[in-house]
A = this chain, B = another copy of it.
Amino acid sequence: MTIENKSGCWVQAVDLRYPSLKDNTADADRLIEALKKQLDTDKVEIDFCLLRRLPDLLRNWKYRLRCILSKNRKGWILTSITKLQDADSIGGVAVDLGTSRVVLRLVDLLTGRILAESSFDNPQISIGPDILSRIHFADMDGGLEKLNSLIIDGLNKNIALLCNSCKLKLANIHLISVAGNTAMTHLFLKLNPHWLIREPYIPVVNRPGFVKAKELGITVNSQAMVFVFPNIGSYFGGDLIAGILFSGLNEAEDTSVLVDVGTNAEVVLGNRNWLIACAGAAGPALEGGVTRMGMMAGPGVIDKVSIDPATYNFNIHTIDNMPPKGICGSGLIDLAAQLFLAGLMDIRGKLISSRCGGRIFKKDGIDHLLVVSAKESADKTDLAISQADIDSLIRSKAAMYTILETITSSVGMLLNDLSTFYVAGTFGSFINPRSAISIGMMPDLPTETYKTLGNSSLGGATMAIRSSKCMDDIDKIREHITYLELNVNQDFMNRFSAAKFLPHTNLSLFPSVKTIRAVTSQ
């Protein structure tokens, strides 16, 4: 045997001994025995469908072949085989199955190399923009089937395009990994999501493991398997498990925190020995669904704002430098921070009319702040945010900080003790930590403590198709996590009230902000 296998690779090259009268084990059992030795396990199964083609293929290939495996909670399953010397890549697809957007990454399973990436809007948006409306739709006759076929068709179409861009045949895709929240995972698997949103919030399954692509209607290699990330419960999904895996938080000696901010703020605190997770409503303000001009990141969307503390001039940056047409979460955080630091907003988050000058106007009895005037905006209408929008942001940031305080104090830690503060999610990548600290949304840690992970869900999904070793890590993450139910009790409310100020009632928690504020408010 002169074959070298990458450790942990889902693809294993095997060089079998030819059968003889002295060694007349069946083809399948010969292969299984070899894999058992190679993988150092006594649990290997062979997929039944493979048996029918096995004898001819083994002999055609002179008993030298590549095996593509998968694994469930009982052991390994051999699902596909290819010729050892096959020139074609053996491809895998990592999927970040987002509620709004789905991201695909094509990976060479032999080398682990990323071949291409693409993304598309989740076609279920046509049914409902959010998970809740889709779950209700799923209750209708044929609703679940409709939602399922939308996402499956979308995946099929986009996987085909992705493969095509790399001149790879669909039949060369042997493995897919999917990380999504619990509801998206259910809709993807065509599992009834009804009970996810009803007390006591029970998923159909926590650990779907490997499922045949064919069984899910995914048109890649007919023997391909799909690994579906497990969830902890209805509100803590596989996307977060993938995120933890990607961050490496679960392997570090020091305690770190991982925050995924969206409509919910999901927070994980921990290290290699323990993990605590909680998910709380951070408020929709942060995902740009609330402010009248709020929107998700995209060309023309304001993502950075700075205000000259001397002139009160607004310096606006938009994505792709297109004419401004709205503001996204990170832009709103910047704006609030700058308004506060420039002294245009007080510590309660109220706009100070006297300082805002002509930018303040009343509409429906509520103060509004003009951000971009009609003549400079993309749609030739004024872009403004209202005091209500800001109030909503303040509640969101207070909730975020309170959750962070609650989870750290639950293990007797202070936020200052954190060695790394991981910020996950596309939205998270755009947040300026300084701005988030300035409004007291995130703790006052040195800027280098903050690490943006980008699409951590996709990152974790990629790891899972690159190495079978991740399966143990994923299991360990699931087992180690204690889910902290956020009780909105008096203690929580006290913390929340204190956090509703900019940056916080207790200014000693934000020494760096205090300094700047002292300068700017002189």
Contacts and interface: CB of A to CB of B under 8 A. Distances in A.
Interface of A: 19-21, 23-29, 43-46, 48-49, 51-52, 54-56, 72-75, 189-192, 194-195, 199-209, 211-212, 215, 231, 233-234, 485
Contact of A43 (B74, B202, B204, B485): B74
A189 B26 CA distance: 15
B200 A26 contact: no
B215 A49 contact: yes
A201 B45 CA distance: 23
Contacts of A195: 27, 55
A200 B56 CA distance: 15
A317 B249 CA distance: 85
Contact of A29 (B24, B25, B207): B207
B73 A204 contact: no
A481 to B, nearest CB: 13
Contacts of A24: 200-202, 233-234
A253 to B, nearest CB: 30
A19 B231 CA distance: 17
Given A45-B74, A55-B192, 4 more contacts: A24-B200, A26-B203, A27-B202, A55-B204
Across the A-B interface, the 3 shortest Cβ-Cβ residue pairs? A74-B74, A28-B205, A26-B203
A54 B204 contact: yes
A199 B52 contact: no
Contact of A199 (B21, B54, B233): B21
A43 to B, nearest CB: 4
5 contacts: A19-B202, A26-B202, A43-B73, A43-B75, A56-B192
A206 B28 contact: yes
Contacts of A233: 24, 26
Contacts of A48: 208, 211-212, 215
Nearest to A24: B200
Nearest to A46: B205
Nearest to A231: B26
Contacts of A202: 19, 24-27, 55
Given A73-B43, A74-B43, A211-B48, A55 B194 contact: yes
A52 B190 contact: yes
Contacts of A208: 48, 51
B203 A27 contact: yes
B45 A204 contact: no
A74 B75 CA distance: 7
B45 A73 contact: yes
A462 to B, nearest CB: 24
A212 to B, nearest CB: 8
A184 to B, nearest CB: 15
A189 B55 CA distance: 14
A206 to B, nearest CB: 4
B199 A51 contact: no
Nearest to A53: B192
B204 A27 contact: yes
A371 B75 CA distance: 64
A52 B200 contact: no
Contact of A52 (B27, B192, B231, B234): B192
